[in-house]
Structure formats: C-alpha cells, structure tokens
Amino acid sequence: MAKMLRRRTAIATAIATGALAAPMWVWAKGTYPPEPANRIVVPFAAGGTADCLGRLVAQILSESTGSAFVIENWSGTGGNLSAEIVAKARPDGRTLLLGTVGIAVTNQYLFKNISYDGELSFAPVALIAEVTNLLVVHPRFPASTFVEFVDYCKQHGREELQYGSPGRGAAGHLTMEYLQSQAGIRLRHVAYGSRSRMMKDLLAGNIMIAMDNLPTYMRHAQSGALRALAVSSTARWFAAPDVPSIAEHGYPDFDSSLWWYIAAPAGTRLELVHALSDKITQGLKSEAAIRRIRKCGASERPGDTEELARHIDAERAKWKKVIEEAHLKPQ
C-alpha cells in the first residue's frame, strides 16, 4: 500500500508542478486528439503472443476513442528498450507500453544499467493477460509425474541434473528457481539464449528438463515427444486440462506466470489513466476479446489500475526474494 501511495504522490506532484503540458480530453464525448498518431510500444517482434495482445488492446482503444492506435515493435534487452521509449515519452496518453513482469518487476534486479524505474517511471493502467509456464521432460527422463520428478531431483541434485530455459532471467528460469526454493531441490541452469536452440536440444535428449511458456511445448507433449509434468499457474490451464498444477502437489501458494499489462509514462493525468483503464478492462471482458486472447495462447486477466498496482507490488516482493535466494546478480 505504501508503494501505491508513493506512486500516486509522484503523479500528483507532476501535476502540481506543471509537468503535464497535455490538455485534458473530453472522454465523455469519446474524443481523442487526431495528431500525432497514438501508439502502443510492444517489447517483442511482430507475430508472437505479446504482439497479438498489443494489437487487441490497440483495437479496443481505437474503437472506443474513435482515434487509431498503432503498434510499434521494439524487441531486445529483455524489454528495456521499449520501457525506455515509453518512460521518456510525453505523459499525454498517446504513447502506451505493453509491459511484462520483467519490465515491471524483475529487470531491476537482473540488469545493472537500465534507464527507467519499473515503479516510478510508469503509471499503471490495466492488467491484460497471462500465460503459464510448463515443466517438461524428455521421455527418457526417469519420472512420469511431478512427485516422481521432485523425488528424483532430491536424490541426484545439480551435479547430475540440469535444466534449460530460453535465457537468464526469462520466465522459465525464474519459475524454476522459485520451484527449487519451494521444493528443496537444486538443478544446474543452462541458459540457451534462444528458445529454438533449447527446443532442438530438448527434443534430441541432449537436455532432459525444461521450464518455459506453455504454448510452444504443448504439441510436442501431445505427440509424446515430450512429457508434460506440471503447469506453474495455481489452477490447471485451459489449453492443458489434463496437466496438473504445481499448486496441486502441496504447494498451494505456488503461482508463476508471464503476465502483460498496459502502462503510461509517469505524470499522465489520473483522470486519463482511469479513463484508459476503464475502456481497456471493459473491452477485454467481451466474449470476442476472450476468444482472441486465448487464440493468442494466453488467458484473460483484466484488471484496472488499482488491481494492477497491487499485483505489481505483490510480484515485486515475491520475485525479489526468489532472485536473492538464487544469488542472481545484476549483469
């Protein structure tokens, strides 16, 4: 709660000191300034889940405001480039960020030099969607269930066992560190720097264990090329109802997902933030939007600005502890 108050105080101070030059818009009439173009900055290349979600939000805002929103894709550096662009943009509601848990929370603990503050550089607008992580093993791995997996890992440990993730600090990497701290196991991490490289080694049996975002792996699990042991969400995933959750196995508070949200530059007027939040959350609750989110490979998780702020605070406390216990230092 204290962090939420500091965030709101910072925004209020910006208003009081005249930091906001943009005029207030008449949202009751549904108007939006025609020029320049409104944009949503997406920290990944076109074609993926994040881009798909960004385009959905752009459509919702375009239809609800009567002014076009376009997507700008700026990939790389764990989302830091996109975050920097939005953090430095005018706080007039024309530039929005499709953020990730990395930008909001974990990057500040994993990168030495970032030019934005995950908390103070942005005004939280709306929570959008999430995707669970999936624990998978090669069929030759001697465990058919999550319980067997944990028991085997306890017997053998990091000297014998290693797991792969697309990269250091990726959702899969941090989720496995979280699991290790909860289950009392230790494995050696192999950061591939590329999901495709890791998948190639996993399918070939060169590495036996992986934790990563679910959508990429389900067809291989369904074909028998990989064995799905558990999802990291608190409940079973809509696209994999037969795969149990880690929480089901005696870890009731275990919850780890890659989540997306919309943010504006810090200093954006509170009235505008709330108006954007209302339009986005209302749009996301439609049946058409839910179908589209699930087609993107994610699950809907609409939340307004206050819900997003609370979620960020809770995630910050959780992941700070996980990263400290894993002895991951900023690089």
Domain definitions of the chain by residue range:
2-131+257-325, 132-249
DSSP labels, 293-308: HHHTT-EEEEE-HHHH
Alpha helices in 159-297 (DSSP H): 171-183, 195-204, 218-223, 270-284, 287-295
Q: Do domains 2-131+257-325 and 132-249 have the same CATH topology?
A: yes
Residue 100 pairs in a beta bridge with 260
For residue 161, give the DSSP letter: -
For CA atoms 228, 203, 295, 262, the dihedral sign is positive
- Top-level class of domain 2-131+257-325: alpha beta
Q: What is the pLDDT of residues 224-274, one digit of tens each?
A: 999 999 999 999 999 999 999 999 999 999 999 999 999 999 999 999 999
Q: How far apart are CA 60 and CA 72, in angstroms?
A: 16
Taking residue 26's Cβ as centre, other Cβ atoms within 10 Å add up to 9
Instruction: Name the strand (E) or helix (H) holding 109.
Output: helix 107-110
Tokens found for residue 301: 């998780």
Q: Which CATH number fits domain 132-249: 3.40.190.10, 3.40.1190.20, 3.40.50.10490, 3.30.390.10?
A: 3.40.190.10
Q: How much is the CA Rg of the chain, to the nearest whole Å?
A: 21
pTM for the full predicted model: 0.87
Collapse the DSSP code of 93 into the 3-class scheme (helix H, G, I; strand E, B; otherwise coil) and give the result: coil
Q: Label residue 186 exposed, middle or buried (CB < 10 Å: 0-12, 13-18, 19+).
A: middle
Mean pLDDT over 103-107 rounds to 97
User: For residue 53, what pLDDT is reported?
Assistant: 98
User: For residue 36, what pLDDT is reported?
Assistant: 57
Q: What is the pLDDT of residues 206-227, one digit of tens each?
A: 999 999 999 999 999 999 999 9
